[in-house]
Structure 1
Amino acid sequence: MDINSIKSIKPGNQLPKKLLAIFVSVAVIIGSFVYLNSLNDSAKDTVDIVVVKSSGGISANTLITKDNVGKYSIIKKEFKDDMITYDKVDSILNKYSLYYLRNGDPIYFDQLTDEKPRDNEWLYELEDEYEVLTVKYDYLECGGGILRPGDLVRVRVTYTEEVSVPPAMEGMMYSSSKKERKTEVLFDSIRVKDLINSSGRSIYDVLKEVFKLSEKERQEVMKSREFLQSIKAESLLLAATKEQVNKYTKFKSQQDAVFTFTILTRNGNDEVLDQLPVIEKEVESWIIENEAKE
């Protein structure tokens, strides 16, 4: 403000307007000072919380130690009740992460567990009469659909068999043989307990981790190519009886045996792990696009 201009104000019609302008300017200055001062006080009023301190984040089922957590100060207004203040850091050591935690993110109590989560937990609940049969699987040969743990599939096998041919003429002593391609149903209905991706990781565990994320984080993860790649199955883990395993082994020994998989209806199948709304068309189009570039 120009003080000299204030001194030069003379009484007249413009005097009330000029005085009002002066009062408004002073009020703005005082208001700005109070606001900036409150911001400064708020910035000083902070809370130290526990955050992830690991360049690659903390993977699921990982032991929490002082090496992978650190201290970070936030404004008290940003503090949430379920965040862990740094004075309680010792209470979370030797716990396990339930799912992947990103570097720099605050740690919450509901992200941790006292007991180490089991990988492939369904394996502990497998009935005694079943065995886990691993079968190679081509995603695009199953109608482009996405298999999920709990699905029922029908498996056919096409193989070569030698069949005898009766003598061509009456009186001939020896019959001949020829090779024929045959197809039969190997498993009329068999349950998929899990799927294995190209990294050898359980897709059941991948989906289980994603279920534990918030809706916003879940949507972000689902859109990433890394996630789409992680749910692309290359092998199936089937719950098979001893007889089914023996039957499969018999045909697998034939070099030219071809196995065909079809997905059976999910209607009434409560075991399908399909709570995650994965969009099949999006995954399928990405896979086809990727394979076209190779």
Structure 2
Amino acid sequence: MDLSSVKSVSPNRKFMKKAIALLFSILVIVISFIILNNSNKAAKNTVKVLRVNQSGGLPAYGVITEKQIEKYDLIKKEYTDDMILAKDLPEVIEKYTKYYIRDKSILYKDQISTEKPQRNDWLYKVEDDREVLTLPYNFLEAGGDILMPGDRVRIRVSYEAEGGGDPYANPNAAASSSGKMKTEILFDSIVVKDMLNANSHSIYEVYQEVLKLGEDERDKVMKSTEFLKNIQPRALMLEGSKEEITKFASYNNKEGKKFLITILSRNESNPVVDQLPTLQREVESWAEKDSSK
């Protein structure tokens, strides 16, 4: 048998590439299997924690009830010591939330408080040398519903000088006499700490109460005529020094007095709309729908 005619066969480059590709595919499959197997084991190794189970989430300063939360199996490697375990459910019920918590969020220990929130809590932070002044306010003449607690305003006072004068003098005039009327700046820049509605209730508290409602109920309330009336200010609550309040008292006794209130830039303010962005968006959304009718 003549073997000289038989050609020698050696692996070519194409064959080597296919072999490498096959080995790589097998390696990927093996690694994927290991990862999936470990993940499956980890998924079975869980710890029960508590999480929010209420549409719209939990409102700030609200009382937590059992129907608002649920037990949830969390992968153990994702668990941290500051989470609240399901076994601690009795310690959470009837406690208070420190701030808004989204739906399906896991509850943490620092989100819960045992102390009942204080109404008008800003009053407790007023320093001893400061005083709070209540000033009547016509929202139709000064910014409408634009003015919010936390805004800064400038207040001018026009009053009748001795001998009488024009009671309709322009309060925007410079700090000089206009006939027998004088205009001066009473407060160059003062913060609106809160506002009172026609029922003498805090408007900031009105916003807070609305946030405690569920999402569906909150939407219904905010579209009501009663809610719109409750956020219309009839008086401002201003925090000032003893000297500023004494100055106000001296002008408040003058004949024919008128106060002009102007809103200052919000660049250095902290209005309530910035603290409650969700509520702001819902109010704007309602206003757009109402104007299109």
State whether TM-score is above 0.5. yes
Counterpart Cα distance in 1 of 2:247 and 2:55: 49
Q: Whole-Å Cα distance in 2 between the matches of residues 274 and 138 of structure 1?
A: 20
C-alpha distance in structure 2 between counterparts of 1:233 and 1:44, whole Å: 55
Structure 1 stretch displaced more, 54-63 or 241-250: 241-250
Q: Within the alignment, does 1:43 sit opposite 2:43 as a pair?
A: yes
Note closer, same or farther for the CA distance 1:205–1:18 as it changes in structure 2 (3 Å cut).
closer
Tell me which residue corresponds to 1:23: 23
Q: Does 1:13 align with 2:15?
A: no
Q: Deviations over 1:225-259 (max 9, x none)?
A: xxxx9xx98452234859957976998xx9xx964
Matches within 5 A, 1:159-178: none
| RMSD over aligned Cα atoms | 5.2
Matches within 5 A, 1:1-294: 12-14=10-12, 19-124=19-124, 130=131, 132-136=133-137, 138=139, 141=142, 149=150, 151=152, 153-157=154-158, 180-182=167-169, 183=171, 184-185=182-183, 188-189=186-187, 192-195=192-195, 201-202=203-204, 234=233, 236-239=236-239, 244=248, 259-262=259-262, 274=270
Q: CA deviation at 1:192?
A: 3.0
Q: Is the CA contact 1:63–1:94 (under 8 Å) kept in the aligned structure 2?
A: yes
Out of 150-159 and 87-96, give the one that drifted further. 150-159
**In the aligned structure 2, how far is the partner of 1:150 from the partner of 1:25?**
65
Q: 1:277 to 1:202 in 2, by over 3 A?
A: closer
Q: CA deviation at 1:98?
A: 1.0
Q: Which runs of 5+ in 2 are unaligned?
A: 1-8, 172-181, 212-227, 275-279
CA distance in 2, matches of 1:264, 1:43: 56
Q: CA deviation at 1:111?
A: 1.3
Q: Supply the AA of the counterpart residue of 1:102.
A: R
TM-score, normalised to structure 2, is 0.55
Fraction of identical pairs, as percent: 27
Secondary structure of the corresponding residue to residue 32 of structure 1 = helix
What code does the residue aligned with 1:43 have? A
Equivalent pairs counted in the alignment come to: 230
- Stretches of structure 1 that go unaligned for 5 or more consecutive residues are 1-10, 165-178, 210-228, 267-271
CA distance in 2, matches of 1:152, 1:138: 13
Q: 1:67 aligns to what SS in structure 2?
A: helix
For 1:27, the aligned partner's letter is L
On the 8 A contact 1:195/1:204 being kept in 2, the answer is no
1:120-162 C-alpha deviation (Å, 9 max, x unpaired): 12334556995541533549946x9976538463233589xx9
**Aligned mates of 1:260, 1:42 — CA distance in 2:** 67
Deviation of 1:185 (Å): 4.7
Cα 1:19/1:55, change in 2 over 3 Å: closer
Deviations 1:46-95 (A, max 9, x none): 22211112224222211223232211122233333322121222232332
Once residues 141 and 288 of structure 2 are traced to their aligned partners in structure 1, the CA distance between those partners, rounded to angstroms, is 13
Distance 1:63 1:114 in 2: 10
> Secondary structure in 1 aligned to 2:168?
strand
> TM-score, with normalisation over the residues of structure 1?
0.55
What is the distance in 2 between the residues matched to 1:104 and 1:197? 36
- Preserved CA contact (<8 Å) 1:49 1:73: yes
Aligned partner of 2:136: which letter? V
- Structure 2 vs 1, CA of residues 96 and 291 (structure 1 numbering), >3 Å: closer, same or farther? closer
Structure 1 residues 118 and 55 mapped into 2: Cα distance closer, same or farther (>3 Å)? Answer: same
1:18/1:243 Cα in 2 relative to 1: closer, same or farther (>3 Å)? closer
Q: What SS is found at the alignment partner of 1:116?
A: coil
Q: Secondary structure at the match of 2:55?
A: coil
Structure 1 residue 261, shift from structure 2 partner: 1.1
1:83 is matched by which residue type in structure 2? M
- Aligned equivalents of 2:203, 2:272: Cα separation in 1: 18
